[in-house]
Amino acid sequence: MFSDFVEGTLVARDKSALEQHLAACIQCRTDLESFRRAVGSLGKLKQAAPPRFLPDIQQQIYKRSHGRFFGRRWKLFGRIPFEWVSLATIIAMLIYYIAMLHGTPVGVRGP
Ligand SMILES: [Zn+2]
């Protein structure tokens, strides 16, 4: 109920029940305080990230991983949608499977 309680959208009956419980329960008062703190700090994040935010992070990861991640190879690979690669692989395997089912066995000789 904390979310509705903090936002003031809790119905009166629930609100007074919660307030009564909070008056008696230190554990829930502590929980409510940490909930308020979390919501408060999240609220400050509402502004958009600066435009260099993502490239800078990728640059950092690139440097710290000694080029293992977010290198040029990664950028090139990122242009091919992964779903298309998966779909193409599945179709290729299906075609292979059907060809194997209907094709004449190779390398098997009759008596
Ligand atoms: Zn409680």
Sign (positive or negative) of CA dihedral 59, 61, 65, 68:
negative
Tell me: the pLDDT tens digits for 54-95?
Answer: 889 888 888 888 877 776 655 555 566 778 889 999 999 999
Tokens of 102: 């209907």
Distance 22 CA to ligand 1 centre (A): 7
**Residue 67: enclosing H or E segment and its boundaries?**
none
Q: Which pLDDT score is estimated for 67?
A: 78
Q: Which of 6-10, 15-19, 41-45, 46-50 has the highest mean pLDDT?
A: 15-19
pTM greater than the 0.85 cutoff: no
- Tell me the CA–centroid distance for residue 15 and ligand 1, in Å: 14
Q: How many angstroms is it from 41 CA to the middle of ligand 1?
A: 24
Helices (H), 44-111: 53-64, 72-78, 82-102
Residue with tokens 């800078």: 56
